[in-house]
Amino acid sequence: MGFHRRLVPSGFDRGASAALCVLSAAAAALGAVPAVAAPHDDTRAEVDRLYEAAEQATEAYNKADERADSLRGQVSDAQDHIARQQERINTMRESLGSLAGAQYRSGGLDPSLALLFSDDPDDYLDKAAALDRITARQAGELEELQSAMRELAQERAEAAGKLAELERSRKAVGTHKRTVEKKLAQARQLLNLLPSAERAAYDRASRSGRSDLPDLTGVAAPSGRAAAAVAAARSALGKPYVWGATGPTGFDCSGLMQWSYAQAGISLPRTSQAQRYAGRQVPLSQVQPGDLVAYRSDASHVGMYMGNGQVIHAPYPGAPVRYDPVGMMPVSSVTRV
């Protein structure tokens, strides 16, 4: 295909183009905003690095948030099961009756020892004779009760572990959120250091209007579900980038992919790193409309191939969902869902 080389989107500054499609990615320590403004090219390069760091942190946030959601569901299920199990145990205790209950509470103490420690040996012998008459069915029920109580204790311990992990995930979500917000705030501060004309030029490069849509005439998706996902992604053109969002009014890069395929009845993982393994990987030379294109070695950005060398994606704050050349950044993988 003619677009395998790295392309630079028209209207983009070449020094900034490698990261102008960016926003989901890990919180590398990049240092504070310099007290003295650097030359304009350095300022714009630093803005791009901050956007890339914010993109990595966004995907880390998405992963932690997804884990927290999963744990909340697991904890809720465990609590429901524990409640049902406790109710079952209570019913079993009632059905065993007072004698069988007394036998259970004795903890299976050896009869000779129980007699030795009894305050009233005659009373104990009378009860022992009665206990000997407990039916085999009641003895089985007693074993079942003991087993149920052991299971309940184990389930409670597991639920406590999940609750602790949930709390750790909540803290991780908060940490990644603060990292994203810090990087974006630093980027905005640096942009404000640029002269107004250069800032306006940068802003123009950061937005793609509806008037410059690529020609996709004759392009067809290879399957019905790919066609539905492509149509959904196309309907999101112009929607704002909102980090951590999965639509329908705003998206981050992996959120747009997840939402678009959900409209086709396909459930994708939440993060770009997981989405790259959500189907069969194919060579870039065989890319087709609807394929997911992951960028950078860490797959911290993702877009959807639309045909004629174009992807649609949610780039970064201030840049709405738009088309860009598939070669806008180094491609790490192509996945056919």
DSSP for 114-164 reads HHHH-S-HHHHHHHHHHHHT--HHHHHHHHHHHHHHHHHHHHHHHHHHHHH
Q: Helix, strand or coil for residue 290?
A: coil
Backbone phi and psi for residue 71, each to the nearest 5 degrees, phi listed first: -65, -40
DSSP 281: E
123, 289, 292, 327, 328 from 311: Cα distances, Å: 86, 9, 9, 9, 9
Whose tokens are 């870039």? That residue is 284
Whose tokens are 């509806």? That residue is 210
DSSP for 160-199 reads HHHHHHHHHHHHHHHHHHHHHHHHHHHHHHHHHHS-HHHH
Query: Strands 292-295 and 310-313, how do they pair?
Result: unpaired
List, by residue number, the catalytic residues: 253, 301, 313
Give the closest residue to 325 by CA, choosing from 336, 337, 315: 315
Q: How many CB atoms lie within 10 A of CB 246?
A: 17
Give the closest residue to 287 by CA, choosing from 336, 328, 332: 336
DSSP for 46-69 reads HHHHHHHHHHHHHHHHHHHHHHHH
DSSP 19: G
